[in-house]
Structure formats: C-alpha cells, structure tokens
Structure 1
Amino acid sequence: LTSPLWSRDQGIFLVSTDGSEAPRRVTRRGHRPQFGKNSDRVFLQRTRTEPEADHRELFSVDLEGNDERLHVTSDWATEYSISGNGRWLAFIERFHVYVLPLVSTGDVVHLSPDQKALPMLRATEEAGQWIHFGSKSDTLHWTLGDRFYSLPISMEALSDPKDTARPQASATHIGMEIPHDQPTGMIALRNARVLSMTSPLVQEHQTILIEGNRIIAMGETDSLEIPEETHTMDLEGRMVMPGLIDTHAHGQQAHQGITPQQNWVDYARLAFGVTTVHDPSNETESIFAASELTKAGRITAPRTFSTGRILYGAAGHYKAEIDSLEDASFHLRRMAAVGAFSVKSYNQPRRDQRQQIIRAARDLNMLVMPEGGATLMHNLTMIVDGHTGIEHTVPTEMIYGDVLDLWRQVSVGYTPTLSVAYGGLGGENYWYEMDDLWRHERIMSFIPPQKVIPRARRRSKAPIEDYNHIRQARITKKLIDQGGLVQAGGHGQLNGICTHWELWSFVQGGMTPMEALRSGTLHGALYLGMEQDLGTLEPGKLADLIVFEQSANPTLDIRDSERIEYVMANGRIFDAKTMHQLGNHPAKRSGFYWETNPLGARVLMADPAGCAGCRH
C-alpha cells in the first residue's frame, strides 16, 4: 500500500517527551516496544516461525540496544503486554486472553494455555484483543468489537484452584453511531441505453434519476420529469449497467495498523467499475475498519464486506480449534462482534467440524464460504452440507451428470476464481500473456508500477490448450444452464482488471456475454443476500452503476466490459479514467505515491491501439 522506498534508519527509537533530545535508535530488532517497571530497559516481541510453531518471544534490551535478555516464549501466542509495575504479564493465544505473574528467575518461561508452572487466569469468556493494563497495574483491559472489558487482577484470583475468588470482567459499550454517507442533491443520467439485469433486453432512450445514494426513478427520457436544480448528464446513448460485485476480492486495507486515506486498491477497483467487494480472507482489524470508514464517507472505496480472518483448520497462531458446536459458536460470535456477517471455513480437516460451523452460522444468521482446498471430496460434502457456496474451482478438469444432479438440488453458489484455477495454468497467466498490461493506461494509473511491470513485461508463454481455466470455465456454463448461481471473484490478483478477467474467462468457457455480466452483478448480490439493494438497476436500489464508453457494448463483446467512462458508487459519480469526482460534489483525487515521488514514477510505453493493453 505504501512506497517501497524506506529509510535506512529503521528500528525502535527512543523519543524524549519534552523534545529536549533528538530521537535515537535503540535497536533494529523486535516490535511492539514497551517499558516495564523501570525505564532502563525496553521489552520487545519477535517471532522465529517454523512449520510446527511461531515461537513468539518476549525479550528486552537496555537503552543502548545491548544486554539482550529472553524472558518468555510461546508456540502460538499472538501478543504480550506487561503491567506498568512489572508484576503481571498478559498474553493472547487461540483468541483468549490470559494473565499471570511476570517472574524474573533467570530462566526463560514457556507459556501455553495449559501451563502449570505459574498461577494463571484465563480472563476472557469470549475472545479478546488489544490487551493492556490500567495505570495502577491492577486492572487488565481488552476489547472485542464495540465492547471494552476490564478485569481486576490479584494474586488471590490467580491462585484459587476452585475459582471462588475469580473476579468478573465488566464490559463498557464504546461503539458509536454516525450517519451513513450519502451525497446531497439529485443527478439525472439522460439518453442512456440501460442494461438493468432485470431482463436481458437493453432499454433505449432511458433516464435514471438518483437522489442521494438511491435510484428514485427510471423511464423514457422524453417522458420522465426532471426536478429543477438536478445535475444532468447527457450520456448520448452510452450503455449503463449495475456496478460489478466481486465476491472473492482480496486486497490489503492497512499497513502496520494504518488505514490509508487514499488506498490504490480501492481506487483501482472503482476505476474498473467494481462497486461492491466481499473479501473472504483478510486481516480482521483492518478490513472492518476500512469498511466502516467507507460507510462513513471518510475514504473512497467500493462497498466493502468481509469474513475477516479465516477460521483456519491447520497449524498457525490463528488456528480456529473446533471440536464441538460450542467451539464453532465461539468463533462465529467473535467474528460477528467485529462486523462479520460471513465466515471463511478454511481447510477444517474433518467433515463434522465443517458441519458444526454451518450449524453455528444458521443459529447466528451468518453465511459460510468454505475454502475449496483442491479436494473434490471436500467440495462434494460442502455442497451436500449446505454451505453458502464453493470458493475456488473444483480440482477436476470436468464434472459430469452425477455431480451436476447433486448440485442442482441445493442452493449452493460457485465462485470459481478462474484466475487461480486449480489443476493447471490459470486465467491470470493467460491474460498476462495475451495483453501488454504495462501499456494499459488505466492499470498504470491506479496500480503501483512495481506491482505490474516485473510480471507483465516478462511473462510466461504457453499453448492455449495448456490453459486449464478454460476447461474449468466450461463447468460454470453447465451450472448456469441448470439454473445455478455462479459469481465473479477476481481473487485480488490485479485489483480492478482481475474482475473483468473472470467475466472474460466465463465467456471462454461458453457463457454468453449476458450470462457473464449477470454473474458479475445480480448473482453476486443474490449470493451475499443483498439483492434488495444491489445487483440490478431499479427504483429503490442503491445507486451503484457503470457508464460505458460510447462505442462499448459488453453484451456483444465481453472485452468491452472494461471500457468504462464513468462509475457511480453510493450515488457519487466519478470519471473512471482519473477518479476525479463529478456531479454535485466535484473534487479531484490526490496523487498516489508513485505519481508524486519522481523515484516512483510510472512507466508507460507507446499508446495502445484498440482495447487498452491488447496486443495486435
């Protein structure tokens, strides 16, 4: 998200609070610095990750960066916090918060939830994060979603084997409500050719009237009355359709805990007409922060939804251990608390574990998107057990009538992410080979050059029959033909354009352009349960839409889907080539780091002819 240019003086710095001394580096090692009882040493954390453990360590150095001492290790802890008086240590493991005395014996203490060497208290009933101690060191604090928890700490509570002295944590609601962003005023898009997705027909000579962030009227341009003071745009016959919905859209939303005020990932998506994204695997803390900032109008981005961090079934500090329905409910409750309405069931190895997640999700009214995992037997049981959908391709070249008959009987969607199709070369490789992406002006305007040029200019080449994503795309056509639900998921491979790669790949597999466009719009809304607000152009729906270039018609040539003139997101209309806002609230976007820093200047070769980036 940020410039690849770094200072030479990275590390942990000591800064005087009164500004009397210049900051000086203490050490290059570690992160999350904190003082203990005295201010003569700095405590830091680091990991020594191996396949069987993360080995998170708590160590300290003096203020010159010397005399390193290792105090605590843990296989799977994610965070340590020391009380100000140096008496207590809190840590998080498997999403629970624990507290115990911090002893200085000269030996390294190895921590785990079941250690018996020291008295220890599990502080949380539900999950917790952001642990820290109060100013008097006698209270431990943590948060979960919009709840701030406080727990008095004493040796009596830690030492009581029967928990009779266990204190109760108090919870304070720290959430707030602010209005959802919507622009003021009205916009009329006149003389449009409307592809509403409510029917396969294109309606000619239409006007779309938007007030705030919703469509309030649609009709014949000659007959629809436009109120005074409405900002009017004559589209001169340009085609309009709903904004694209990418239901498998990975993309970074923060860097080292900081959410960018202008994230190129989001601008790239919008510039290519993607107005809603669902990310089935992202950092919990950053993705929901970005989602709320978008809703509040503090940042410009598509509507952003996510599962947050995956419910991982393999080894790792974020493993979600599930051996009962209560375990599954615990994990879904903690995700719902931070803003998730869906979870990613990721490689839980046993079928009963996956079933427990589904049952808990039904109790909590949540969706379950499982990781396909390139295992056909898992895919088939996921279909039978009623997951919301299958993410990623089934790992076979083709499926036949038996699987189709099975799939037909359930409402389980399919997001194949053909760019990373299993079993052979995926669509991403194909489109890198077919198009000169470094010549694509819109890509180079919104994606950092170091993300594009190395792979785009020196890409691999293969015979077309080696591209397995085309065979995989034929499966999506079979599902569509029997009334199944197939959605577009670009996997964040090259944000913005990768959603179009998915549509183009659908057509390679036999879908009509119209079927592909419906998969990228209405089907995504149905999959996410948002069809009341998104997916079609109708009065009452949210004003998320695409205006194509005048000669573009993606219903005839699916490659025209990227030829976008304007994009409207939440009622705000942008020039898709520059992402400057137009309409009632005109505003120019700021420059990205590679535009404002000469060392990060973009590279653009000769202007492309025809479709942007196409080779001729």
Structure 2
Amino acid sequence: EPVFSPDGQTILYRRVGGGLIRSSLWSRDQGIYRIPARGGEAKRILKKGERPQFGSSNDRFFYQLGKREKDADNRALISVDLDGKEPQTHYTSKWATDYRISPDGKWLAFIDRFNVYVAPFVATSRSILVGPKDKTLPIAQVSQEAGISIHFSGDSQRLHWSLGPNLFTRELASAYAFLNDGETIPPEEAIREMAIGFQAGHAQPHTSIVLVGAKLVTMGEAGNLENGAILIEGNRITQIGNRSDLNIPSNAKVIDISGQIVLPGFVDTHAHGSQATHGIIPQNNWVNKARLAFGVTTIHNPSSDTETIFATSELSKAGLITAPRIFSTGTILYGATGAFRAEVKSLEDAQFHLSRMKSVGAISVKSYNQPRRDQRQQIIAAAREQQMMVVPEGGSTFMHNLTMIVDGHTGIEHTMPVQYIYDDVLDLWRGTGVGYTPTLSVAYGGLWGENYWYAQDDLWTHPRLKAFIPPHVLQPRTRRRLTAHEGDYNHMKVATIAKASFDQGGLVQAGGHGQLNGVCTHWEIWSFVQGGMTPLEALTCGTLHGAKYLGLDGDIGSLEEGKLADLIVIEKGYDPTQDIRHSEHIQYTMVNGVLLDAKTLSEYGTANSDQPPFFWQNGNLGIGVPIPQTEHCISCPAGHVHLW
C-alpha cells in the first residue's frame, strides 16, 4: 500500500506479516511506516491501521481502522501527523469497506454495500457518521454497478473505480446539481467505461505422451479398458482405447505403466483453501501443490476472497503457478450481518449481485444463509439470467434444504442435518437435478469424518503430507487427535443419504472442505464407501459427478477423446476400484497435459530439483503463525533468531 506525499518527498507503506501460506519469519514490527522518497531509514509510525493515504497536506495523512461490533464494522477514517501524533477521527461508517480522500482534500469517496459514493470532505472537531442514507452530508451514489479500487484523478475532478476488467470514470460535477448548473446527469450518461483487461495465452505443453499397458477406468461410455493406451497431445486426449488400436506418432514419448490403474483427475467441488494473505499471492502455494500431489486436478471453492481467488485462477491458466484448475463463487452472498452482506430485497438486488460476481470471473455464487425463501428464489432467478450456478449453504436447516431442492438450486452444500432420510424426501428430490455435496469430513449432527480419519493412521509420519503440508498445520491435529468408538462417528450414518441419492440417479460429488488439503478429498470418497457405495461409485462421485455438477463434463471428469488431459496414475500393486483406500497411492498426476511425479511434483523426465522448496523447508525458518508482538524481546539473548 505505498503512497507518495503531495510534494513527492515522503512514502508511506504498510508492513504486514506472513501467515498460513507464506512464511511468518518477517512478521515482527507490523504497521504503517514512512521513509524518505530518496532513501533513508524507515520509521514505524503506527502499529495498527491500513491503507495510508495523503490528502492535500504533506505533514498529515489518513488511515483506516475497523472496530467491529455485533451490528457494525465501524470502519473509521483517521488522520495523524507524520510521527503518528495528534490523531483525529474524521468519519466512521457502519458498513463502509474503503475510503479515499481527493488530492485537494475536498472530497471523500467510499464504498458501502459494494456501491461507490462520494461526499464533500468536511473537517470538524467531531467524527461524522457516513453512509448511503446519511443526511448529514450531500452524499451521491456515483456507480451504477458495483466497484472496487476507488481513486481520484490528480486534479480531483473525477473519480475512478474498477470492476472486473473494466475501469469506470465519472466527473464529480455530474453527480451534484450545484456543480453543474442545477442539473444532475444520469449515471448511464455520466459514467465512462474503459476496458483495461488483457489477454494471455493459455498454458499448453508442446509434447506428445502415450501411457500404455494400464487398466483405464474411463468413467465414460467405454467403461474400463484392460491393457489400454491413451495418447495426449498438448493438453488434450487425442486417442484412447486398446493399445493395438492406437496410431502412435513417432515423436511420442511412450511410458509403460503395465499393471497399473489410470483414473480421471479428482474434482473437489467444495475445496476451501487460502490463495493469498494481505492480497499477496504466493508463487509456491503448498495448498495448491498438496492437492495436485493427491491427484486433485480441479477445484471449486464455494467461499473465497473475490479478488485473489480469480487472480490465482488466471495465473494457473497461464501456467505461471503450479495449481489445479481453479473455479469459485468468490465472496459469498452473505445473508447475515457484516460489511460484505449481500442485501437482497428484490429481484433487482439479486441481479445486481449476480452481475457483479460474473464480472469478476465467477461461474457460481454461494447463497449463504439468506433468511427468507423469496430472497433465495430471487438469487436463483438472477442466476438463470446470467447462466450461473447457485450453491447454497446447507446451514444445518432441514426445511431450508427441502425448499432449496424444490426451488432448483444447483445443489445442496453440506450434509442434510438428519441421520437418515426416507422415501418422502427421496421422492421429492428424485429427478430435480439438484446435486448433493455432503462434505462428510464436517458432517452436521455428530462427530465429523475428519476426526475419524485422523484417528486411523499416524498421519504426521505420512511422507506425502510431510512433503506438502507445513508441520505447524499437519502435526497439531494429527498427533493430538480425538478418538471415539466407531459407532459414535456420525459421518458414516449421514453418508447413507449420499448413497440413497446416488442410487436414484442423483448427482453426488466429493467436497473435502479443505480440512487437510489434498488427502481430505480422499477422505470424502472413502466416507462414501462407509455409507454403502461401492468403490467405483465413490470414485465416480470424485470424478465425473464433480465435473457434471460444475458443468465442465464436456472437458473433464472422464477419460475420453477430445477431453482435457487431467488424470492420475495409481502406483503399481494398488487398485482403488477394489479397495477405496488405495486411491491415495498416486504415482503420477497429469494436469493440462503435464505429467508430474506425485511425490515431488517435478515434471516427468526432469530432476526433482526443479520445484522450489517451501518456506518451512529452508532450515525450518518461518514455521508457525504470527504471535502477538511485544515492544521488546523477552528473555532473548542478542542475535537470537525468532521463528514466528
């Protein structure tokens, strides 16, 4: 968040820490700093606060600070001098998420409920409560659609904001009659739109690979092919069948995997997991690599930070990071309280939210605890107009779940909050096309599946988990695990609902919920078998059904000619179609036509060293999470290295 002072002599910036997916080694002394623009020593001015900015003065600056309460986020705009002294709170808002001061110090812009507003900046001795309906100041809504990244032009005459790949600009004079000869100009006439997006090539390997000799579990019409062969050219499957039937190019790399099993890559349709901290996307994210190491080649995250999840998805598509295919709802359409609440009081409100989410790259939205049925129906109607999916939060509310089925949501996320369902519910559900992602690792109503699988093995010794998951994430839950009598685990009972839905032609898919990324997708598939599915049925849920649920089965989910080359090769001697616990024994993961060693994620035929180490593998530095800071080290000899 670096900013220059008006005279160009001073730079303000914010120092942040690490966290779950980035090293915490340099997490001390966080806060807002100033440094001379020509170089020199940086000085910490404030320990708390974010988004520093100057107005017209060189010797005072503004920053933002939230003081969240039950019924308000209370984001404040505060100014201090360059030493952090003489604080003055100028504005507070219940639900604003960002403020910006114009360079001449005369205007305040803010975002509230996703819309962009502007008001005259008035300096008083008391703070002013500001919001869309506040009458203290003449407040004007300047956006017609949603907006982020608000900023003023250098002459303070125009306000800019963005949404997706477009930049919007509006003259301030058009928003106020007293600045425009007594007239206001309608937004559709006053707002200028400019496309600022750019195109990049979709990553595609220039290779030809043939996998021969394996049993191909295609999940397609061909069924299982013994002694099969599959030709991958670039990132697509171009031929598949019996080995003798393929016309293999002379330049193809032939890999003999006789006696092994090949499956489509796993599709996790409920895959939470961080992609950034403080807006910084790591190039080497263990969350994504852990998924690939366990054969998960496509994820759908039904609740994530909008700005970073779609940026990460684009980086993955361009081949700039190693990751599965990433799809998401972005930030949920939250029905409860909070600054990011998505208010839905009409179909027009729902259309507003669906439009803004599609603009940033969402293929779906998560209707999260919208309290009234008509609100949820309005979201569905708006989604149909935008050709988007609606995956509602199950919410442990059985009657809500039934109306979600009747109203035609894409699916139900999380388990039905009952132990069993009977013919009345099955009859209602049958034929609706409404899918079911039970996330059995966090099943409602009793002990979770996650707890069960922690108790089955010494996971802290698991070589692949140790290789791809930080010890401060892996060890606490795996070493100090909850144990119980097997009959007390609820996930096995509610898994029978998934089996019943599957048996009547329902779409059931795997969602690991990001509990222990990578292996949690397998936990879900294994739990399906505990609920009565055969191993092949459970594998179908983890592959083809997930692809169908996301509307991607034309490209992924099965091994068929013309589809994207996302697949896994099971280690020799293991067969998950016979023993579902074998599904984690993966030798190779292929994503987008690139064949990776599942143990190291090195590309086939290259040295293991082509993958950079994770932050905790650099001499154990950076292990842990940031701890509360103190002014001085306690009992710390000089020169001690702190591991935060």
- Specify the TM-score bucket, using the shorter chain as the normaliser: over 0.9
Q: d(CA) in 1 for partners of 2:584 and 2:558? A: 19
Secondary structure of 1:61 counterpart: strand
Mapped to 1, the partners of 2:476 and 2:609 lie a distance apart of 33
When residues 202 and 113 of structure 1 are mapped into structure 2, their CA distance, relative to the original with a 3 A threshold, is same
Contact 2:213 2:243 in 1 (8 A): yes
Query: What does the per-residue CA deviation read over 1:155-213, in whole Å, with 9 as the maximum and x for residues that have no partner?
Result: 97165898635671100011122221111121111112111012595321111100110
User: Does 1:212 pair with 2:231?
Assistant: no
State TM-score, norm by structure 1. 0.95
Supply the RMSD in Å over aligned alpha carbons: 1.7
**Distance (whole Å) between structure 1 residues aligned to residue 560 and residue 321 of structure 2:** 26
**Which residue identity lines up with residue 450 of structure 2 in the other structure?**
E
The amino acid of 1:366's aligned partner reads M
- Pick which of 72-81 and 198-207 moved more: 198-207
Q: Distance in 2 between matches of 1:209 and 1:584?
A: 20
Q: Is the 8 A contact 1:307 1:342 kept in 2?
A: yes
Residues 556 and 263 (structure 1 numbering): CA distance in 2 closer, same or farther, change over 3 Å?
A: same
The answer to whether residue 88 in structure 2 is matched with residue 66 in structure 1 is no
Q: What is the rounded CA distance, in whole Å, between the counterparts of 2:230 and 2:212 in structure 1?
A: 7
> Does structure 1 residue 355 correspond to structure 2 residue 377?
yes
* Structure 1 segment 135-146 matched on structure 2, within 5 A: 135-146=154-165
Q: Which runs of 4+ in 1 moved over 6 A?
A: 584-587
Q: How many residues align?
A: 601
Residue 108 of structure 1, CA deviation: 0.3
Q: Deviations over 1:10-31 (max 9, x none)?
A: 2111122211x21111111201
> CA-to-partner distance for each residue in 1:104-159, whole Å, 9 max, x for gaps?
11110101110111111101111000101111111110001111011111397165
Change (3 A) 1:232 1:87: same
The answer (yes or no) to whether the contact 1:513–1:556 under 8 Å persists in 2 is: yes
| Equivalent residues of 1:200, 1:514 under 8 A apart | no
Per the alignment, in what secondary structure is the counterpart of residue 370 of structure 1? coil
Contact map agreement 2:408 2:432 (CA 8 A) in 1:
yes
Does 2:49 match 1:30?
A: yes
Give the one of 535, 540, 543 matched to 1:521. Answer: 543
Q: Deviations over 1:207-243 (max 9, x none)?
A: 1100110000012223423212212211122110100
Q: Tell me, yes or no, if structure 1 residue 461 matches structure 2 residue 468.
A: no
- Choose the corresponding residue for 2:197, options 175, 178, 189: 175
Tell me what 2:66 maps to.
47
8 Å CA contact 1:15–1:24 kept in 2: the answer is yes
* 1:339-369 deviation per Cα after TM superposition (whole angstroms, max 9, x unaligned): 1111101100000000001111111111110
Code of the aligned partner of 1:277? I
- How far, CA to CA, are the matches of 1:290 and 1:592 in structure 2? 18
Identity %: 57
Q: How far apart are the structure 1 equivalents of 2:32 and 2:381?
A: 46
CA distance in 1, matches of 2:622, 2:92: 41
Asked if the contact 1:119–1:159 (Cα under 8 Å) also holds between the matched residues in 2, the reply is: no
1:380-395 superposed matches below 5 A: 380-395=402-417
Q: Does 1:410 align with 2:429?
A: no
- Aligned match of 1:246 in 264, 268, 282? 268
C-alpha separation in 2, matches of 1:564 and 1:267: 14
Structure 1: gaps (5+ residues): 603-616
1:100, 1:158 within 8 Å by CA — same for their partners in 2?
A: no
Normalised TM-score (structure 2): 0.91
Work out the CA distance in 2 between the residues paired with 1:192 and 1:32. 56
Number of the residue aligned with 1:2: 22
Residues 158 and 596 of structure 1: CA distance in aligned 2, closer, same or farther (over 3 Å): farther
1:292-324 CA distance string (max 9 Å, x none)? 111111111111000111111000111111111
Give the one of 350, 353, 365 matched to 1:331: 353
Distance 2:32 2:619 in 1: 26
Q: Which amino acid aligns with 2:600?
A: T
Aligned equivalents of 2:159 and 2:547: distance in 1? 43
1:378 match: 400
Contact 1:96-1:128 at 8 Å conserved across structures: yes
1:486 equivalent in alignment to 2:514: no
8 Å CA contact retained: 1:158, 1:166: no
Per-residue deviation, 1:584: 8.7
* 1:582 alignment counterpart: 604
| Rounded Cα–Cα distance in structure 2 between residues aligned with 1:163 and 1:356 | 35
1:586 Cα deviation after fit:
8.9
**What is the match of residue 553 of structure 1?**
575
Cα distance in 2, alignment partners of residues 346 and 189 from structure 1: 44
- 2:403 is paired with a residue whose SS is helix
Distance 1:523 1:500 in 2: 15
Q: 2:296 aligns with which of 274, 286, 306?
A: 274
SS at match of 2:119: strand
Which residue in 1 is equivalent to 2:632? none
Aligned partners of 2:58 and 2:483: how far apart in 1?
A: 59
| Aligned-pair CA distance for 1:542 | 0.3
1:114 aligns with 2:133: yes
1:154 has 2:154 as partner: no
Q: How many Å apart are 1:74 and its aligned residue?
A: 0.4
